[in-house]
Amino acid sequence: AVQAVADTFGGLDIVVANAAGGGFRPLLDTSDDQLDYAVHLNVRAYKLLMQEAAPYLEKGEGRGKIVCISSWGSERALPMYGAIGACKAALESMPRHGALELGHRGVNVNCVRAGVVDTGSLRALPGVDAVLEERRQRSMTGHNVSPEDVASCVSFLCSPLADAIQGQVVVVD
């Protein structure tokens, strides 16, 4: 896929990795196969994408950008989120290492940790309406984080305005 995009558009400037999943279930009920699936989807896929994209990002004009998307489950224990949360915690360490290895080669690598965003997958969690209402009431803005809020942060990190931001996890919550 990376080569097809680079061939079609003559290069690659930005990569946003937004894979998420692994099944909502208690950690103690998670089988080895289910955990392997979560690791492959959330962590391994990002590593492979970074490896494949790096040579193209280095050749572009300006700095290449890689941004991965994490979630608040990376640092908070949430019901039915053990495997995904553990994978997102592992994912958040990868941009630091990616920045170390790619920063001097003209590529910025960062992560966005999104707060509670009302999406279809979130609706699969039990009691989500109460969580969303509690988060909205505690929000400084009076509303929950929207997909557009997350996209705006990603857009910023992919712009030249963020050339000096490297290996960071930026929280949008």
Of 46, 56, 65, 88, catalytic: 88
Contact in structure between 39 and 89 (CB atoms under 8 Å): no
CB atoms within 10 A of CB 140: 6
Q: What pairs with residue 145 in β-bridges?
A: 117
Rounded distance, CA 90 to CA 68, Å?
A: 12
CB atoms within 10 A of CB 81: 22
Contact in structure between 117 and 150 (CB atoms under 8 Å): yes
Q: What is the DSSP letter of 166?
A: -
Is 56 marked active-site? no
CB environment 36-46: b (16+ within 10 A), e (fewer) = ebbbebbbeeb
Is 59 marked active-site? no
Of 46, 56, 65, 81, catalytic: 81
H or E stretch including 16?
strand 14-17
Q: Is 49 helix (H, G, I), strand (E, B) or coil?
A: helix
Active-site annotation, residues:
81, 88
